Amino acid sequence: MREIQFREALREAMNEEMRNNDRIFLIGEEVAEYNGAYKVSQGMLAEFGAKRVIDTPIAELGFAGIAVGAAMNGLIPIVEFMTFNFSLVAIDQIINSAAKMNSMTAGQYKCHMVFRGPTGSAGQLGAQHSQNFENWYANTPGLKVVVPSNPYDAKGLLKASIRDGNPIIFMESEQMYGFKGEVPEEEYVIELGKAHVAKEGTDVTIVSFGKMMLRVYDAVKALEEQGINAEVIDLRTVRPLDHATIIESIKKTNRLVIVEEAWPLASISSEITYQVQRHGFDYLDAPIRRVTTRDVPLPYAPTLVDAFLPDVAKIVEAVKAVTYRA
């Protein structure tokens, strides 16, 4: 199977859907003339024209509002934020308009649209450009939140998101746009709300999503050298959360570690922990452990960035604690 970059997988998803449906358009900063801040939309202006690939001013609240209005009138916008940190400027349109319109109008107006762009730490970008808001948006009824971890998932999940009919928050790791993976040339779509058992195991279940999956895979290799066989679950979407797949895994492994690039308070890992202790408590042989970022704004110094983020050593330590091999 061919290997393509994460950004290319996203581009293919948008191109294929836009060729099949002329109601879909892409809007955001630098998406057209500059081919995208991360070159995700490279070549799209030439193919689809300036009415369907639209450059905007630096005004996230404004172009998010335009997109919401367009969606209410039957178009399907794909809104690209240069970073989801900048989505905070537009959060009123996302939370109070897109997420609520279907409910508030009893289904008379829908917001069939996708908000997408990079999320999380990407090195020394400072505290205002290195944040994860998956749990913020997942807290909002009316939104679905998707976080792919590889090019295959990125394409299949984005195609599903564009077709879904609801407002979707689609978050991509800024550090993974050049990451390569196998992606088939034939048509495929990945169901939203269904987690993927990326590796089967017997001793512990490790749950994660997005960029942190790369850290998890490295930790699993280190754990195998110490005789610990981990099962790995990639959530793919964090709203809706696939609790059933997690609990089925815990029935086998009896232990759970959750890895998340986010602050610990009211995180996705907090919600998973609650749901598991409510619906799967009898299967646990050890307390649930989670590995998150430190509970501070991200520092700029590279040594402090490393200390802030989850890493292999922290994941291995958590797994060994729940398997009583520390």
Q: What residues are labeled active site?
A: 60, 129
131 close to 173: Cβ distance less than 8 angstroms: no
Left if phi > 0, otherwise alpha if psi is -120 to 50, otherwise beta: which for 110?
beta
Provide the pairing of β-strand 76-80 with 113-119.
parallel
Exposed / middle / buried, residue 317 (Cβ in 10 Å: 0-12, 13-18, 19+): middle
Tally of CB atoms within 10 A around 319: 27
307 close to 273: Cβ distance less than 8 angstroms: no
Q: Which two tokens stand for residue 202?
A: 């017997």
Phi, psi (rounded to 5 degrees) for 312? -60, -45
Q: Which two tokens stand for residue 2?
A: 């061919």
Left if phi > 0, otherwise alpha if psi is -120 to 50, otherwise beta: which for 227?
left
CA distances from 325 to 71, 221, 223, 250, 318 (A): 53, 16, 11, 18, 10
